C-alpha cells in the first residue's frame, strides 16, 4: 500500500523585509527547518516518497547558497522526492533549476519534474503524472493531458500540479494557471496533489492542497501542515492525514477599543498566545491614559516574549478621564498643556498630539514616583 507525503509552496529564498532583521532571519531559518522536519516525518511515517507540488523556490534569483541548503535539507529522507516547478520557480530555459543542476546540488534521489509526463516510482508503487509550469502564467489547464497519459498497471496514479482549481478558490491566489475541478475523476487519478493555495484545503476526496509547511502570511487558512496520504491500491480511495509542521503561528488582529473591558479582553487573549507567535495588531477606538499605560506595558512584554510583535496604534485615540487628569496632578501651565493636547487630538485627529500627551503623562507619572521615594 503506497504511502507518501504531500507538501508544496516552500517559497525558499523568501524575504521578510517588513520585520526587524533578527525576526526576519528567524523566519527564513524556520523554512529550512521545515524541510528537515518533512524529511523526518517521511521517515517517521515510513513514507514511500515525498511529492512537492511546486514553488520550492520563491524566485528564480535566489542565491546559490539557498539552492544548496534546500537540497541539503532533504538528505534526512533517502527515499524518492519529486519536485515540481511552480509559478515562482517555473522551468524556464534558464532557471533556478538549471542552476541547481550546474551546481551539482541535486541529490540522486530527487526527481525534478520540469517537463510534462510520468515519473514512475516502481518501488514506491506510484506513477506520478506531472504538470510543471514552464512559465509563470498559463491560461490553459496543464493537467488536461493527464486524461490520456497511460501508466503501468498496478501503480497508483497520482497527479502533481500547481495552480488554482476553477471556481473553488478565492481570487487572490498567486497566479492564474487554471485546473478543472473534475480532473481527478476524468483522468482516473487516485489522488491529485496540488500546490499554490498556501493553506491545507480539501477539494474533493481525491484532490487536496497541502499548503505551505511553514506559514508566511497572516491568513487563517490552515497553513503550516503537510499531508500523509495512504492509498490501498489502484482505484481505492485515499486516506489523508494532515500533520502539523509549522514552527510559528501568525496572528493578525483588528480590534476596536471602546470600554475598559475591551482592553482587558485583548490583553488576556495576547497573554494566552504561545511564544512561537508572529503578531500583527491594528488598534482603533479610544483608551484612557491608565489603559494606555497598561497597553504599552503589555506590548513591551509581548515584544520580548513572542517571535515578532507589531502594533499600529495610529487610529487609537487617547481620551483621558477626569480621574486620569487628577492623578497626573497637572496644575497651572502643565494642566493647560494637557488640556490643550487633549482637545487638539479630539479636534484634529492628531497623531502628534496623541504621542505628546502620552509622553507628557509618562513624565508626570515618573516625577510623581520619584517624589514618593
The per-residue pLDDT for range 206-236, each reduced to its tens digit, is: 999 999 999 998 887 899 999 999 999 999 9
Determine contact, residues 333/368, Cβ cutoff 8 Å. Answer: no
What pLDDT is stored for residue 295 in this prediction?
A: 95
Counting Cα atoms < 13 Å in the Cβ hemisphere of 261 gives 0
Question: What does the pLDDT look like over 250-284, one tens digit per residue?
Answer: 999 999 999 999 999 999 999 999 999 999 999 99
Give the pLDDT score at 327: 64
Q: How far apart are CA 335 and CA 331, in angstroms?
A: 5
Q: pLDDT category, 174, cuts 50, 70, 90? A: very low
Query: What's the pLDDT at 168?
Result: 74
3-state secondary structure of 185: helix
Torsion sign, CA atoms 95, 97, 99, 101: negative
271, three cell numbers: 497573554
Q: In this predicted model, what pLDDT tens digit does every residue of 112-147 receive, in sequence order?
A: 999 999 999 999 999 999 999 999 888 899 999 999
Residue 187 and residue 159: Cα distance in Å, rounded? 9
Q: Are 55 and 196 in contact (CB under 8 A)?
A: yes
Q: 83 versus 319: which is more confidently predicted? A: 83
pLDDT of residue 320: 74
Residues in CB range of 5: below 8 A, 6 or more apart:
38, 41, 42, 45, 47, 49, 50, 51, 226, 227, 228, 229
pLDDT of residue 361: 66
All domains of the chain, ordered by start, with CATH? 3-244 (3.60.21.10), 249-372 (no CATH)
What pLDDT is attached to residue 326?
A: 64
Residue 5: band (very low, low, confident or very high) from pLDDT cuts 50, 70, 90: very high
pLDDT at 369: 53
Cell 505551505 sits at which residue?
212
Percent of all residues in the chain with a pLDDT value above 70, rounded to a whole number: 85
- Give residue 216's region: left, alpha or beta (phi > 0; psi -120 to 50): alpha
Amino acid at each position: 500500500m503506497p504511502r507518501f507525503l504531500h507538501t508544496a509552496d516552500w517559497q525558499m529564498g523568501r524575504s521578510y523585509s517588513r520585520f526587524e532583521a533578527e525576526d526576519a532571519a528567524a523566519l527564513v531559518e524556520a523554512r529550512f527547518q521545515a524541510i528537515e522536519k518533512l524529511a523526518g516525518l517521511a521517515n517517521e511515517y515510513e513514507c514511500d516518497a515525498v511529492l512537492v507540488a511546486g514553488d520550492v523556490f520563491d524566485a528564480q534569483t535566489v542565491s546559490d547558497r539557498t539552492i544548496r541548503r534546500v537540497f541539503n535539507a532533504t538528505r534526512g529522507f533517502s527515499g524518492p522526492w519529486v519536485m515540481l516547478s511552480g509559478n515562482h520557480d517555473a522551468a524556464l530555459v534558464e532557471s533556478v533549476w538549471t542552476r541547481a543542476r550546474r551546481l551539482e546540488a541535486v541529490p540522486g534521489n530527487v526527481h525534478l519534474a520540469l517537463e510534462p509526463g510520468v515519473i514512475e516510482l516502481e518501488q514506491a508503487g506510484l506513477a506520478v503524472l506531472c504538470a510543471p509550469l514552464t512559465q509563470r502564467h498559463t491560461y490553459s489547464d496543464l493537467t488536461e493531458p493527464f486524461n490520456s497519459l497511460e501508466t503501468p498497471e498496478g501503480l497508483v496514479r497520482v497527479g502533481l500540479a500547481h495552480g488554482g482549481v476553477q471556481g473553488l478558490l478565492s481570487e487572490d491566489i498567486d497566479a492564474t494557471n487554471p485546473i478543472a475541478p473534475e480532473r481527478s475523476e476524468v483522468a482516473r487519478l487516485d489522488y491529485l496533489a496540488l500546490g499554490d493555495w498556501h493553506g491545507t484545503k480539501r477539494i474533493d476526496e481525491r484532490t487536496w492542497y497541502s499548503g505551505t509547511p511553514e506559514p508566511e502570511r497572516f491568513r487563517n487558512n490552515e497553513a503550516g501542515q503537510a499531508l500523509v496520504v495512504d492509498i490501498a491500491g489502484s482505484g481505492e480511495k485515499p486516506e489523508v492525514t494532515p500533520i502539523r509542521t509549522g514552527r510559528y503561528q501568525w496572528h493578525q488582529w483588528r480590534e476596536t477599543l471602546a470600554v475598559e473591558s475591551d482592553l482587558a479582553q485583548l490583553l488576556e487573549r495576547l497573554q494566552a498566545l504561545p511564544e512561537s507567535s508572529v503578531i500583527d495588531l491594528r488598534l482603533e477606538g479610544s483608551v484612557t491614559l491608565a489603559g494606555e499605560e497598561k497597553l504599552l506595558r503589555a506590548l513591551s512584554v509581548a515584544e520580548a516574549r513572542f517571535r515578532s510583535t507589531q502594533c499600529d496604534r495610529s487610529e487609537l485615540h487617547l481620551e483621558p478621564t477626569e480621574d486620569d487628569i487628577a492623578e497626573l496632578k497637572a496644575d497651572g501651565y502643565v494642566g493647560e498643556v494637557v488640556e490643550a493636547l487633549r482637545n487638539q487630538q479630539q479636534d484634529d485627529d492628531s497623531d502628534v498630539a496623541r504621542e505628546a500627551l502620552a509622553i507628557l503623562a509618562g513624565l508626570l507619572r515618573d516625577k510623581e514616583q520619584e517624589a514618593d521615594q
